[in-house]
Structure 1
Amino acid sequence: MKYLKTLLFIVLTSQFLNAQSESPYEWKWKKDGIWTGTAIAGNALGVSIIANKEPFSIEEINQKIANRDNINFLDRWVAGNYSKNASDASDIPFALSFAAPFALLLDDKANDHSFQLFGLYFESLATTSALFTITAGLTRRARPYVYNTTEKSLQSKQKVTATRSFYSGHVAATATATFFGAKVFQDFHPDSPIVPYVWAGAAALPAAVGYLRMEAGQHFLTDVLIGYAMGAVVGYWVPELHKKKSSEFSLIPTMDQNFYGENYQAISLRYQF
């Protein structure tokens, strides 16, 4: 009988060890379907508004250049910046950021829930994109290169894209991707010693994109800071809002020795809340 109990304990332990890892998140098709669908609709609305924006006239451009000193002190130093090389360089970390969360597929715990995580990731990016496109469509802030009087042509300043400085979509999307990846890694591995380094990398990449976008003359400092904040909030809070909050019971095999030196095996009941 003693050996039978030990064998039963080994079998139960093996089943627990070989079971699929538990996800800290829950996906609800109805709620998340509405959320994602609304975000996609928001993107379509934002793109429609942008398509109907009026570009700057020559008179508006000349007036902005003449009033350059009226720009707030946080942004004034960026006015007039223009660099195609910096603009092209900013696309590299921007593109890499989208792939960063897919590194979770190499993680034994996270890749058991790859479809769920892909859904959360898509939901995060769609949310950030909707917020950005609507804001870019409703605002009409000149990009820093509009104030450039030597390198940037007047024709390029008269395009609709010149009115879309506020806020930085590159930085927002990058922050969403990297903060999402860092948040998910931490939730699956809360005790991992590399969590601080993962967060450091998540914070550094959108900062690098922001610096290059300012050097390129695409955005002012406040555009970058707001884009960073918006993207980081979405990247962090979408996974956080999906974390399981309901109480649950679980059975865990345990083996130990009592006060008298006798070995015992048991099944412990755990209540998590």
Structure 2
Amino acid sequence: MARSTSGDSLLTRVVRVLEVFGQAPAATVTEIAARADLPVATAHRLVGEMIGFGLLERDESRRVRMGVRLWEMSLRSHRVLGLREAARPFMEDLHSVVRQHVQISVRAGTEVLYIERLSSRGAVANIGSIAARLPIHACSPGLVLLAHAPDEVREAVLAGPLEPRTPRTPTDPVQLRRAVATVRRTGYAVAPASIDPGVKGLAVPLRDGTGAVVASLSVVIPMTQDHRPLVPAVMATGRGISRAMGAAVVDGEEVVHSTAPFPLNERTRRGV
């Protein structure tokens, strides 16, 4: 793979260009060069080639944006596509009850990445959106994913820094460790006003056929709303999605390995 005079491979430079769009939805080539730490001529050449492949595109003002083809390729990921297909019917049922936001997210390092969301007109404001990331310690799905993350990931997060997003964001490692332990004990996480003062998150784990937690289902409701009546419905929906991905439920609660995933047409019948 061709390398620059700085020693960076071509792939490394391409990734740095793509990462620019995590900071802003659009940028000029000069801005891309500065943020990706590339010579302007190199950035101009790379951007031109990436536009040719559909990975990037130019808008009416000639600013560069992420291309549709990149989004299409990401949707073909087996991890994302299979999860979204399994979850969607159950999310629709839960959404008809909650009438707020219903979301699916996965762990991406020490962040939460949202891959699906259903919302209602007039629903409470929601910082999370599809393809957006949030700190793992600051939101309800993050607490679920952290509770079931490998020990080294959990310890790295607890080692900090734990940046506050609101006055109620857990920033004390002892407090966060207790919160994670509570999630493992109860099977769900509640994050009141930890990411936005006006909202509350409620989340549960989603498991695949090996029994591993691979994602989190969450709802976002107004801070003033009592989340407790929603806990049974959210947990039942989480178990339904887990079944659809091959997990089995024992004694109505514990999710374990299943060698025979339920076929797609059984999702609704055996779900919520």
TM class, shorter-chain normalised? under 0.3
TM-score normalized with structure 2 length: 0.24
TM-score normalized with structure 1 length: 0.24
Bigger share in strand: 2
Bigger share in helix: 1
